[in-house]
Amino acid sequence: QVQLQESGPGLVKPSGTLSLTCVVSGGSISGNNWWSWVRQAPGKGLEWIGEIYHSGTTNYSPSLKSRVTISFGTSKNHFSLKLTSVTAADTAVYYCARYSNFIRRFDFWGQGTLVTVSS
Amino acid sequence: NFVLTQPHFVSESPGKTVTISCTGSSGNISRNYVQWYQQRPGSAPTNVIYEDNKRASGVPDRFSGSIDTSSNSASLTISGLKTEDEADYYCQSYDGSSRMFGGGTKLTVL
């Protein structure tokens, strides 16, 4: 059973950079899957941020593309999210998730981590 | 940008049937598969329907998905409603290299 776990600072200052890591266990990052980030502002809906394939190919939400970078770590059992120039509007629960290209759905999710942007 | 629109709220009584719609902003919604996720407060979403109408493992057959090309919309239907079905429901699809979610529908079972 694949498991994902997010980690990172829970508080980021305005204009700073939000950095999160997702550790993948119980399965390989290789395979026909996209490794994704999804966020949810308090009381709001789900917003897709972007994804990375094991080849390193990335796709980003058009609305966040200029501020987002998703990459793999050196050990390649984890992937990371960087979001620059954050504002209070970036306050959200951030989830990492696996998107299966085979079944075409988000089939495994992390528990989510709350990141608050505040001075 | 392809946008998915859902009603904000729906409510129905236990034992009844409810349908949640998800309307595509343009084009043909049947061009790409639609998925549905259930999210309970404080928890990550879980998939209930994938590829328009397939039930995820462990999801009861009270849940079903469909596509209506005439209205360019997808639907999630839950029959024999139970109080445990009360949750937020999100449709999700993709357009080229982008994924997108609908705005979500809060289902109240009262």
Q: Chain B contacts of A97, Cβ < 8 Å? A: 44
Q: Chain B contacts of A46, Cβ < 8 Å? A: 37, 39, 45, 90, 92, 101, 104
Q: Which of A46, A59, A103 sits opposite B97 (nearest CB)?
A: A59
Put simply, whether B2 touches A (Cβ < 8 Å) is no
Chain-wide mean pLDDT for chain B?
A: 95
Question: Best of B31, B90, B99, B107 to disrupt the A interface by mutation (most A CBs within 10 Å)?
Answer: B99
pLDDT at A114: 98
pLDDT at B52: 96
pLDDT at B26: 81
CA distance B46 to A84: 29
A83 and B22 Cβ atoms separated by less than 8 Å: no
Residue B27 has pLDDT above 80, yes or no: no
| Portion of chain B with pLDDT greater than 70, in percent | 100
pLDDT digits (tens, 9 = 90+) for A11-21: 999 999 999 99
A68 and A50 Cβ atoms separated by less than 8 Å: yes
pLDDT digits (tens, 9 = 90+) for A72-101: 988 779 999 999 999 999 999 999 999 999
B22-50: average pLDDT: 94
